[in-house]
Structure 1
Amino acid sequence: MIASILIANRGEIAVRVVRACKDLGLRSVVAYSTADKDTLAVRMADQAVCIGGPATKESYLQSRNIIMAACLTRCDAIHPGVGFLSENAGFARQVEDAGLIFIGPKSETIALLGNKVEARKVALKAGLPITPGSKEAIIDLEDAKQTAQSIGYPIILKAAAGGGGRGMRIVRKEADLAANLAVAKKEALLFFGDDAVHMERYLEQPRHLEVQLLSDGQGTVLHLGERDCSVQKNHQKLLEESPSPVLSDSLRNAMCNDAVRLFQELGYRGAGTVEFLLDGDAYYFMEVNARLQVEHPVSELVSGIDLVHAQIDIAQGKTLSYSQSDVRCKGYSLECRINGLSAGEIKNFVMPCGPHVRVDTYLQSGSVLSPYYDSLIAKIIVYTPTREMGLSVMLRALDEVVIEGVKTNIEEQKLLIKSRPFSSGRFSTDLYTKVITQEKNHG
C-alpha cells in the first residue's frame, strides 16, 4: 500500500498531486530545485527536499537524486507529473529497481510507446488507422527520398523518440528534404538523445483529437471521452475542449473504441492518452502519451472522475471499481493555458473565480516566473452545460485575470475564443496563425 508519495515535478502539476495526496490522506514529499524553494507546492507538501540547481539537468532530470530523496524520506512511490522524466522508461525502471512504486505505466510499456515507429506498429496490429509513413526509422537521405516519393508530398519528419512538437519538420518538395532531414536529426538528438526520425504524410488542415483512458492493467480499460486540442502555436497546445464540436456520435464511438482496443493490446496500466489526427471524416493514430496530460482537468470535469486519484489507486494494484457504462460524460469543458511571454517577478496576481470556473496554478503575488522552466502560469478551466455558455464563461474568467510584472498571452487567447472559426467550431490546427496574423495585419 502507498502511504507516502514523492512528487518529482514542479509548478501547477506538483500542486495538483499534493492536493490529491491530501484528499486521500497520504503523506506528500516534493522534490524541488533551488529556483523553486519558495513555490506553492513546496509550502503545501508535508515535506520538501532540494534535489539540485535551477537548470533541469541539475535537478528535475537527475533521476539518481530523485530516487535517493524518495528513499531518504521513506516514500513508497514516486509520481512523475508531466514532462521531465514522466515518459522516461529508464527512470521508471530505476524507480522499480529501487523497490519503489512508479505511478504510471510499466517501464517496458513506456519504452515501447516512446518510439514512434514501434508505437505505429502496435497501433496497426490493434487495427487502428495510421497515416501513410515509413515502417522503420529513416536510414539516410536516399531512404528518405524513396519513402517520400512513395508517400507523396507534403511529408513531416518526426523525432522517433520525441514529442511536444520538438524535432518536427514539414517538407513540401524534394529540394528541401536534405536540409530538413539534417535539422530534424539534430533536434532529435538535442532534445531526446536519439537522432532517429521517421516520416509520415503531412495532413494540411487536420483536427488534433485525443482520447483519455484509464486502465488498471488487470483487464479493465475505460475511456473518458475525447478532447479537441486543435488550437496550437508551434505544435504547442493553447486551448483544449471536450467534447469536440465536430465529431458525430458514430465517429466518436469508433475513435474511443479504437483507443480502448489499443490499450488492451498493450496491457496498459495507469492513465494515458491516445492522440489522433482528424481529416474530414477520417481519423488516424498519431501517438500515445503514456502519462497524465496537462489538459487532464477537461476530462475530469466532463466525466466526474479524478484522474490523479485513479492513478494512485491503480499504481497500488487496485482494480477499477466502475465499468464503461458507469462513465457518463456530460456537459462541456474548456481549458485555456495562460503562458508567460517574459520572465520575472509577478507583482500582482489575481485569478478568476465564481460559478463554473476552476484554476490550476502554483503562483501568487510576489512569485517569480522562472526563465529556467516551462512558461505555463495557470490553467483556467470552465465547466458548463453547453459550449456556447462555456465560451462566455471563459471570456468572463479571462477578463477577471490580473497579472502584473510579466507579459502573458491572455489577449491572444481572447482573440482566439472570440474568432468566428472557433466560436463556430469549424477550425483546424492553423487557427492561431490565421487569427493572430490577421489581427497583427489589421493592427
Structure 2
Amino acid sequence: MTRSIGKLLVANRGEIAVRVMRTARRMGIGTVAVYSDADATAAHVAAADEAIRIGPAPARDSYLRVDAILEAARIAGADAIHPGYGFLSENAAFAEACAAAGIVFVGPPAAAIRAMGSKSAAKQLMERAGVPLVPGYHGDDQDPGLLAEAAAAIGYPVLIKASAGGGGKGMKVVESAAGFAEALASARREAANAFGDDRVLVEKYLTRPRHIEMQVFADSFGQTVHLFERDCSIQRRHQKVIEEAPAPGMTPERRAAMGRAAVEAARAVGYVGAGTVEFIAEGDAFYFMEMNTRLQVEHPVTEAITGQDLVEWQIRVARGERLPLGQEGLAIAGHAVEVRLYAEDPMKGFLPQTGRLAHLALPEGQPGIRVDAGVRGGDTVSVHYDPMIAKIIATGADRAEALGRLARALDRTEVVGLRTNRTFLAAIARHPAFAAAELDTGFIARHEADLLPAETAPDGLTLALAAAAVLGRRAGAAVAEADPADRWSPWTCTDAFRLNRPRVVDLLFEVAGATQPLRVECVPGGLTCEALALAYDLDGWTEAGGRILFTADGRRRSAAAAFDGDRVALFLDGAETVLRVVDPRAAAGDEGGGAGRIAAPMPGTVVAVAVKPGDQVEKGQALIVVEAMKMEHTLRSPRDGKVAKVNAAAGDLVAEGAELVVLEEG
C-alpha cells in the first residue's frame, strides 16, 4: 500500500540531517529539524523548513529521547521520521513507537532491527543459516569469568565488541589475559553509554584483515538487491577513516558470492529498506561480521559508482513503492573514495578537539568532488557529539584519478580554530602503499611514521607569509578605522613610515613552544622579509578571501591565511602552519604542570577512578578514565610514583586542562 509523505522529520543532526533534507526537498517533501540547546543555530536547523527544540545538549536528554521526538513530529504534523545514522537509527523500540503513533519510520521493520541489532543474536542467526563466522563467543551469558575463559579458549589476541551498535564504540583489542578484565570493563562502559546496552561478544582478532561491506536494499514486495561493495579497511581504533567503492582487487566471482550472502542475510530477517552487511576478509576467506540496519556514513561512495540516490530509495520504499531498479539494472561506473574530516589532533593520539571553527573553507565545486558537511565557519564543535566536520568524496574514471582529486581537494581544505586530521588524510591519499591498494585494517599502524611525521619548525618562507598576513590585516583594520575627514593622516598609517629611515617592522612569532623574531621592510608594492638568512619578496598584501600573492625562486604563487585571535594559520601547497603573534609587551604566563600532574586532555565526564591518595603506581598504569564524544580516554601514569591527590570522582564533569591526579615521588 502506497503511503503519502508530505512532511518529513529528521531525528538527527549534522551532515546526515542536511543530506536527507536536500533529497526530501527535491522530492517535494517538507522538512522538519529537531535540535538540542547546543544546536540551536546549527547547519541542519538552517537547512530545514521548520525546527523544534527537543531538550538540553546531552544526547540522552535530546536526540535519544523517543518521547520528545514523537512530540515534535506531532507538533509539526510530520507524516514520517528519518532517523539518519547513530542515535535512534537502530532502535527497534523507536521504530515501534513511530508505528504506534501512525508515523512512517524511514527504515527497516522493528523485527529486523531487533534481529540484527544484537551482534551476538545476528551471528547465531547467520551460523544457523550456514554463513561463515569468525571463531568466537556470541552467547547470552555475560559473566566476566565465562568471557575470560572464552577468550582463553579462542586464543589471544581477541577482540571484545559491543553486542549493540558500531562505530568502534565498545570495541577493544586484548593482547593477553592480563589486560582482559580492564578492557572488558571499559568496553562495557562505552557500550552502555553509546547504546544503552553493555553486552559484548568475544572473537578471534585477525591480524591482516580487510573490512568489506555490501550495500543491500529491499522493498515490501519481496525484492532484495545489493548495490555492490565498499572497502572500509583503512581504520583507526576500529573506526573507519577512508572508504572506497568498488573494493580494489575484487573479482566478479567474489563480488557475486558476497552479494548473495548479503542478500540472503537480509532476506533471513524480512528486511525492508537500506542496510549494510559487513564482512571481514583475510586471504580467500570472508566472514560475516554484522549488519547495520540503517544508512551508513559512507553511503556517498555507493551513490557515486551506481548513480543512485540512496536516501530517495529509502523514502520511496517507506512510501510503499517498489525498488527503482532490480539487480540486473545496477552496474558499477568509475571509482569513489571518501574521507572523514574530524576535529582531532593526530599528534596527540587523535584526541577529539572542541571549540569554535574560526575559519572553514571546504573544496566544494571542484570537478569530481562532493562535500557533505554539517557545520559552517563560526560554528562550535561540542563535546556532546561526534567531532566530524565533513565528508569529502572524490570520484574518477578509475581509482588513480579519484585519489588524485581527493589529494588536491584536501590541499584546498582550510580549518582554523581546531586541529584536524586533514594532513593525515592527505598523507594516506598520497602514500605509495595506499596507491598500490595494499589494504588491511592495520595499514595506519604499519605506516604511522610516514603518516604522522614529526612536527618541524617553520621555514623562512612560512614566516615571511605570516608577516605578510599580519601586516595586511593591520592595514585593513587601519583603513576601516580611518577618519573619513582626514584619510591621509599619518597616525592611521601601518606601513612603518619613518622620516628618512627604512620602513621596518619587527614581529615576534611563537610556534611549537619556540619564539622566532622577524624583521620586515615595507617597500613599494609589497615587503621584503629576511628570515633564517633567506630573503623573500612578497609582492602582494593579503587580499579579499585571505590570499597572499608572492614570488619565490622565480615562481609566482599564492597562499591562504586566516586568523583566530592572536594566531595566524598559513596554508601552502597542502601544508598548514599555525603561529601565534606574540606581543613582547605582554607578560609570559606560568604554564605550570609537569610530569606529576595529570590533566584532562579535553572537556568530558569522569567515568572511573582507579587510584586513591597514597597508592603506589607504575609508569603506564591506568589512573582515571574520561569519556568525551562517546569514547573513553584512559589517562595513565607518566612515571612510577605515589598518588598525592585525586581531584575528581566518577560522574564529575571536567574542563580541558583540569588537574585530575597529582603524583609525588614514590
Same fold (TM over 0.5): yes
Q: Which moved more, 1:78-87 or 1:55-64?
A: 55-64
Q: Look up the match of 2:241.
A: 238
Q: 2:62 aligned with 1:59, yes or no?
A: yes
* Rg (Cα) greater in structure: 2
Q: Look up the match of 2:275.
A: 272
Q: Look up the match of 1:187.
A: 190
SS in 2 for 1:311: helix
> Match for 2:337 among 334, 337, 349?
334
Offset at residue 125 of structure 1 (A)? 3.0
Q: Look up the match of 2:511.
A: none
Offset at residue 289 of structure 1 (A)? 0.5
Q: Is the 8 A contact 1:138 1:197 kept in 2?
A: no
Alignment of 1:311-330 (within 5 A): 311-330=314-333
Q: Look up the match of 2:447.
A: 435
> Match for 1:129 among 127, 132, 136?
132
Q: Is the 8 A contact 1:416 1:435 kept in 2?
A: no
Alignment of 1:71-150 (within 5 A): 71-150=74-153
Offset at residue 178 of structure 1 (A)? 3.5
SS in 1 for 2:279: strand
Aligned counterparts of 1:442 and 1:45: Cα–Cα separation in 2 = 44
Q: Which moved more, 1:21-30 or 1:364-373?
A: 364-373
Judging changes above 3 Å, is the alpha-carbon distance between structure 1 residues 178 and 400 closer, same or farther for their aligned structure 2 residues? closer
Aligned counterparts of 1:403 and 1:185: Cα–Cα separation in 2 = 35
Judging changes above 3 Å, is the alpha-carbon distance between structure 1 residues 74 and 205 closer, same or farther for their aligned structure 2 residues? same
SS in 1 for 2:338: strand
Q: Is the 8 A contact 2:115 2:269 kept in 1?
A: no
SS in 1 for 2:290: strand
SS in 1 for 2:160: strand
Q: Look up the match of 2:52.
A: 49
How large is the Cα RMSD of the aligned pairs?
1.7
Aligned counterparts of 1:89 and 1:111: Cα–Cα separation in 2 = 6
Q: Look up the match of 1:164.
A: 167
Judging changes above 3 Å, is the alpha-carbon distance between structure 1 residues 118 and 441 closer, same or farther for their aligned structure 2 residues? same
Q: Which moved more, 1:47-56 or 1:428-437?
A: 428-437
Aligned counterparts of 1:44 and 1:183: Cα–Cα separation in 2 = 38
Which amino acid counterpart does residue 98 of structure 2 have in structure 1? Answer: V
| Count of paired positions | 443
Per-residue displacement from partner, 1:205-243 (whole Å, max 9, x unpaired)?
211111111111321111111001111111111110001
Aligned counterparts of 2:298 and 2:245: Cα–Cα separation in 1 = 10
Q: Is the 8 A contact 2:210 2:280 kept in 1?
A: yes
Q: Look up the match of 1:19.
A: 22
Per-residue displacement from partner, 1:53-84 (whole Å, max 9, x unpaired)?
12212211111110000011111010011111
Which amino acid counterpart does residue 388 of structure 2 have in structure 1? Answer: L
Aligned counterparts of 1:402 and 1:442: Cα–Cα separation in 2 = 21
Gaps of 5+ in 1: none
Offset at residue 148 of structure 1 (A)? 3.0
> Match for 1:346 among 342, 354, 357?
357
Q: Is the 8 A contact 1:138 1:196 kept in 2?
A: no
> Match for 2:387 among 370, 375, 398?
375
More helix, by proportion: 1
Q: Look up the match of 1:9.
A: 12
> Match for 1:394 among 406, 416, 427?
406
Per-residue displacement from partner, 1:385-439 (whole Å, max 9, x unpaired)?
1001111010111111122222111000011111122111012111222333445
Q: Which moved more, 1:328-337 or 1:32-41?
A: 32-41
SS in 2 for 1:82: coil
Aligned counterparts of 2:453 and 2:13: Cα–Cα separation in 1 = 38
Aligned counterparts of 2:339 and 2:414: Cα–Cα separation in 1 = 15
Q: Look up the match of 1:421.
A: 433
Q: 2:231 aligned with 1:228, yes or no?
A: yes
Judging changes above 3 Å, is the alpha-carbon distance between structure 1 residues 404 and 139 closer, same or farther for their aligned structure 2 residues? closer
Per-residue displacement from partner, 1:338-366 (whole Å, max 9, x unpaired)?
11122222232221122111111122232
Aligned counterparts of 1:178 and 1:258: Cα–Cα separation in 2 = 35
Q: Is the 8 A contact 1:246 1:426 kept in 2?
A: no
Aligned counterparts of 1:208 and 1:393: Cα–Cα separation in 2 = 24
Gaps of 5+ in 2: 345-352, 456-666
Q: TM-score, normalised by structure 1?
A: 0.96
Q: Which moved more, 1:11-20 or 1:184-193?
A: 184-193
Q: Which moved more, 1:372-381 or 1:155-164?
A: 155-164
Aligned counterparts of 1:141 and 1:81: Cα–Cα separation in 2 = 34
Aligned counterparts of 1:136 and 1:359: Cα–Cα separation in 2 = 42
Aligned counterparts of 1:135 and 1:381: Cα–Cα separation in 2 = 36
Offset at residue 149 of structure 1 (A)? 4.2
Offset at residue 368 of structure 1 (A)? 2.4
Q: Which moved more, 1:35-44 or 1:330-339?
A: 35-44
Q: Is the 8 A contact 1:138 1:199 kept in 2?
A: no
Q: Is the 8 A contact 1:270 1:314 kept in 2?
A: yes
Judging changes above 3 Å, is the alpha-carbon distance between structure 1 residues 156 and 405 closer, same or farther for their aligned structure 2 residues? same
More strand, by proportion: 2
Q: Which moved more, 1:92-101 or 1:126-135?
A: 126-135
Offset at residue 138 of structure 1 (A)? 4.3
Aligned counterparts of 1:187 and 1:378: Cα–Cα separation in 2 = 24
Q: 2:415 aligned with 1:403, yes or no?
A: yes
Aligned counterparts of 1:346 and 1:172: Cα–Cα separation in 2 = 39
Q: Look up the match of 1:289.
A: 292
Which amino acid counterpart does residue 346 of structure 1 have in structure 2? Answer: L
Structure with the bigger RCO (C-alpha within 8 Å, sep 6+) is 1
Q: Is the 8 A contact 2:424 2:452 kept in 1?
A: no
Aligned counterparts of 1:159 and 1:84: Cα–Cα separation in 2 = 15
SS in 2 for 1:373: coil
Offset at residue 191 of structure 1 (A)? 3.1
Which amino acid counterpart does residue 325 of structure 1 have in structure 2? Answer: E
Q: Which moved more, 1:268-277 or 1:256-265?
A: 256-265
Judging changes above 3 Å, is the alpha-carbon distance between structure 1 residues 440 and 11 closer, same or farther for their aligned structure 2 residues? closer
Q: Is the 8 A contact 1:415 1:435 kept in 2?
A: no
Which amino acid counterpart does residue 134 of structure 2 have in structure 1? Answer: T
Judging changes above 3 Å, is the alpha-carbon distance between structure 1 residues 152 and 323 closer, same or farther for their aligned structure 2 residues? same
Which amino acid counterpart does residue 4 of structure 1 have in structure 2? Answer: K
Which amino acid counterpart does residue 402 of structure 2 have in structure 1? Answer: G
SS in 2 for 1:164: coil
Q: TM-score, normalised by structure 2?
A: 0.64
Q: Is the 8 A contact 1:225 1:256 kept in 2?
A: yes
